Structure 1
Amino acid sequence: MGPYLHFVQYYETDRMGITHHSNYIRWMEEARTHFLAEIGWPYDKLEESGIISPVTSLNCDYKQTSTFADEISITLSVVAVKAAKLSLAYQMINQAGVVVCQATSEHSFLQQDGGFVNLKKDYPNFFQALKALED
């Protein structure tokens, strides 16, 4: 699976001319959306199946600044998948090959009414698609 590419937009920068820290979290969501579509489980398919997946934890380690027009390559990997929890890692690298951010996110899986989903039991195809990519 290839990385997701994001070009830093002018509106994503602050008065200092660097990318505002909150945008990295948005980019993580863009990369996650791209990743799920690549493995055949885009968000709309998950939602049609009755699954929602809230973020339960985030961690960003900002290594280097990025600025307008930088090309950020985001590589996503599956750290762990359990019956009702998914842990992902993100590495964001600029066009010069410098790591600008390393991050992780955790997600639970719920039914739209709020009840927990057991992916392994209720959605084995999705569970196996994630499990196959686990580090």
Structure 2
Amino acid sequence: MENELKPYIHVAQYYETDQMKIIHHSNYIRWFEEARVDFLDQIGANYANLEEVGIISPVLSVEAHYKTMVRFGDSVYVLTEIDSYSGVKLGLTYRVIDVATGELRTTGKSKHCFLNEEGRPVSLKKVQPHVHASFETYREHVFSV
């Protein structure tokens, strides 16, 4: 893993707008997912690779807090950070920030767990120690800064 993670950038699309000509609230959850997949890939916990070995990571909960509006054509960073990690469960936070102004547009959180193909919880520490190490390394990196 590199020292610096690259922020995920999303350009707001016309089809994401609502009748009020702002981004519809449901799209932020999709942006969180896009950013989460990108983030996991950057820290060495590639989601597709986990699925290939029979591990899925369903969403247990998700929330968003809207601060200011995003409009068609705006570019935003979706910054993802680990909030909690136990080996079995993962909590992430998100900040949506306007690229041009630096203004915070939205914040959010999501909780996930790791399950095997039978739908039973698994510990990444036991079944995928290299992925577990990726989460631990990232967490240590963030908190040591």
TM-score range for the pair, normalised by the shorter chain length: over 0.9
Q: Could you say what the CA RMSD is over the residues aligned between the two structures, in angstroms?
A: 1.0
Matched, 1:50 2:65: no
Give the secondary structure class of the aligned counterpart of 1:44.
Answer: helix
For structure 2, list consecutive stretches of 5 or more residues without a partner in the other structure: none
SS in structure 2 of the partner of residue 60 of structure 1: strand
**Which is further off, 99-108 or 41-50?**
41-50
The letter of the residue matching 2:30 is: R
2:115 aligns with: 110
Distance 1:59 1:130 in 2: 22
3-state SS in 1 of match to 2:23: coil
1:24 aligns with 2:28: yes
Comparing 63-72 and 118-127, the one that deviates more: 118-127
1:85-124 to 2 correspondences below 5 Å: 85-94=89-98, 95-124=100-129
AA partner of residue 23 (structure 2): T
What residue identity is the alignment partner of 2:116? Q
Runs ≥4 in structure 1, deviation > 6 angstroms? Answer: none
Distance 1:99 1:122 in 2: 38
Amino acid at match of 2:82: V
Q: Give the TM-score normalised by the residue count of structure 2.
A: 0.89
Contact 2:43 2:138 in 1 (8 A): no
Alignment of 1:82 with 2:82, yes or no, is no
- Please state how far the C-alpha of 1:58 moved relative to its aligned partner: 0.9
State the number of aligned residues. Answer: 135
Q: Which has the higher strand share?
A: 1
1:34 maps to what in 2? Answer: 38
**Which of the two has greater helix per residue?**
2
CA displacement at 1:83 relative to structure 2: 2.2
* 1:41-70 deviation digits (Å, cap 9, x = unpaired): 322101011100000011211111100000
Is the CA contact (8 Å cut-off) linking 1:61 and 1:101 kept in structure 2?
yes
Aligned counterpart, 2:72: 68
2:13 counterpart of 1:9:
yes
**CA distances 1:65-84 after superposition (whole Å, capped 9, x unpaired):** 10000001011111111021
TM-score, scaled relative to structure 1: 0.95
> What percentage of aligned pairs have identical amino acids?
43
Task: Tell me if structure 1 keeps the 8 A contact 2:57–2:115.
Answer: yes
Q: Contact 1:77/1:133 (CA < 8 Å) preserved in 2? A: no
